[in-house]
Amino acid sequence: MLTATTADPNAPARPRDASRPEVKREARFAPSALLQRFYSRAGLAPPRLRVMPGVELPEPYKSLLVHSRDMTPTLEGFHRQPIHVVVLRSERQGEAYWREVILRGADDAKPVEYGVIRICLGLLSPAASRNVLEEQRPLGKILELEAIAHLSWPQAFFRVEADGRLSKLLGLAAPALLYGRRNVLVDGSRRLLAEVIEILPP
């Protein structure tokens, strides 16, 4: 069985270097359809994401972002506490489900990630799909609990200046430079389970 951390000869090929974006980009500043979707609902223009090699990310962002592990257990290990999800907005069209979230530490309620995600419900088990729609757990935790074989596959890394909306959602008292990644989750047949933008607070 393929998992995010177990090698399998039939698994999707991993990027040779997870620090290098695997998608072609036309400019230094990349648009994000996921960010655009939720920012437009708020009547705002999304911030520009400046794409950069993963090797150039400063620590601890490099260790937290430049890897092929799921983000939820990675953040739980770093912050040494369980992570809870707060869903800000969500939408569903057929088997496609979008949500905008803040991940918070269960012990101190501190924001540890801003994220926007599109999930392909039709490729999940019925139990996992119901769990997603209940909006009580991060997707990474659901995949872990339901033992769904998958691979986390970072596509690009970026930095972004926190705008007013990000600053408010992440509880920032002053302007800050944030770091994040665009990631996809695929199953053993290379089918897309989810795509996500993940942005970490300072």
> How big is the CA angle at 21 (ends 17 and 23), to the nearest 5 degrees?
125
* Strand duo 49-52 + 177-186: pairing: unpaired
- State which H helix or E strand residue 145 sits in: helix 139-145
* Tens-digit pLDDT profile for residues 110-164: 999 999 999 999 999 999 999 999 999 999 889 988 988 899 999 999 999 999 9
Provide the domain count of the chain.
Answer: 1
CATH number of the structural domain spanning residue 114: 3.40.1410.10
Domain assignment of residue 103, given as a range: 29-200
Backbone φ, ψ for residue 140 (5° rounding): -60, -40
Whether the pLDDT of residue 16 is over 90: the answer is no
Of the candidates 69, 118, 70, 112, the residue with the CA atom closest to the CA atom of residue 98: 118
- The pLDDT > 70 percentage for the chain reads 85
Q: Is residue 15 assigned to a domain?
A: no
Q: Is residue 196 assigned to a domain?
A: yes
Q: Is residue 116 assigned to a domain?
A: yes
Q: Is residue 8 assigned to a domain?
A: no
Mean pLDDT in the chain? 86
* Tens-digit pLDDT profile for residues 31-62: 588 999 999 999 999 998 999 999 999 999 99
Backbone φ, ψ for residue 30 (5° rounding): -100, 135
Within its chain, how far is the Cα of 69 from the centroid? 11
